[in-house]
Amino acid sequence: MLIVESHVDVNTVVDGKDSPMRIFVFTPTVPQYPNARFPGVVLFSEIYQVTGPVARFARQIAGHGYVVAAPSSYHEFTGPEPLAYDVPGTDKGNEWKVAKTLDSYDQDVIKTVDYLLTHPNCNGRIGSTGMCLGGHLALRAGLDTRISAIVSYFATDVHSRTLGPHPANNSPTPPPSSPHTLDNLSRISAEVAMLFGLKDTHVPDAGRDLIRLKLREAGVVNSFHEFAWAQHAFIRDELSKGRYDPVITKVCFEILLELFGRVLKTEVGERDAQPQKVEHVC
């Protein structure tokens, strides 16, 4: 499937401050069918904004029949250009990810979904995905009930409550009326697939175990995948510091296609809220 690439600038307002946000758009096309319609996917980037690897990931998704919208997360601090995969770029990305408020991250979701719902080739069904910071944002995007399928790659700062300048960062217990993603999972109605490497030093064993436990306690329909030899950033095919694993990346993409294809492309109607009865048979 061919792809048309474009961008749109939308205005966000948080705490009375206006900030233009660029959304990079990747639209599949079918020759001679200009009105073809596809599900939408919000793609959140790692701390470096929309880099080459993120754009290639977007094209891969779009090529399977999804309108992909990738917002520039740091629009309050800088332009839409990506940060470099070097020490200064890493330091800036890590600084901004905790300086940006959760309200602002949530506003980005609202504005990006709003845009997709106006896109002439989007059929109104929306999923989210992303890696690293973007993996967290893809999961948090589920707080917007218009998101119905989520594929999160090695989501950082979920288990530690360390995204945004809020109380209880790194606390084992939530603060009162906690805004943190970990403490609001019960608000997610989307089906979720979480993807992690067992060698990920950013999300250690205890952190992954906590996320899995909280998803189950919240009643979120989810699948949880852990790959024995994968490290952090295992899908990044550029400057991954030796961590890129193309075979595991392919397996994970098949997981994404299965979930998005089943939930976003198939007409199944509303989900029955009654617990499924599973027979215990051999």
Per-residue pLDDT of 219-258, as tens digits, reads 999 999 999 999 999 999 998 889 999 999 999 999 999 9
Q: Compute φ and ψ for 211, nearest 5 degrees.
A: -60, -45
**In a 3-state reduction of DSSP, which class is residue 118?**
helix
CB atoms within 10 A of CB 55: 18
- Domain locations in the chain as residue ranges: 2-264
How would you classify the pairing of strands 38-44 and 67-71?
parallel
Distance CA 60, CA 48 (A): 19
Provide the residue type at 114 as one letter. Answer: D
What distances in angstroms separate CA 195 from CA 47, 80, 110, 138, one per listed residue? 18, 27, 24, 12
How would you classify the pairing of strands 147-153 and 122-131?
parallel
3-state secondary structure (DSSP) of residue 205:
helix
Residue 219 DSSP symbol:
T
* Planar angle of CA 234, 238, 243, nearest 5 degrees: 30
Give me the active site residues, please: 132, 200, 232
List the pLDDT tens digit at each of the 282 positions of the chain.
899 999 999 999 887 889 999 999 999 999 999 999 999 999 999 999 999 999 999 999 999 999 999 999 999 999 999 999 999 999 999 999 999 999 999 999 999 999 999 999 999 999 999 999 999 999 999 999 999 999 999 999 999 999 998 766 667 778 888 999 999 999 999 999 999 999 999 999 999 999 999 999 999 999 999 999 999 999 999 988 899 999 999 999 999 999 999 999 987 566 777 888 888 988
> Which numeric CATH code is attached to 2-264?
3.40.50.1820
Residues 85 and 239: their CA atoms lie apart, in Å, by 7
> Is residue 242 exposed (0-12), middle (13-18) or buried (19+ Cβ within 10 Å)?
exposed
Neighbour-count burial of 120, counting CB atoms closer than 10 A to its CB (0-12 exposed, 13-18 middle, 19+ buried): exposed
DSSP count for the chain of H helices, then E strands: 6, 8
| Contacts with 124 (C-beta within 8 Å, 6 or more apart), sequence order | 40, 117
Q: Determine the Cα–Cα distance for residues 151 and 253; give it in Å rounded to an integer.
A: 9
Backbone angles phi, psi at 246, to 5 degrees: -65, -30
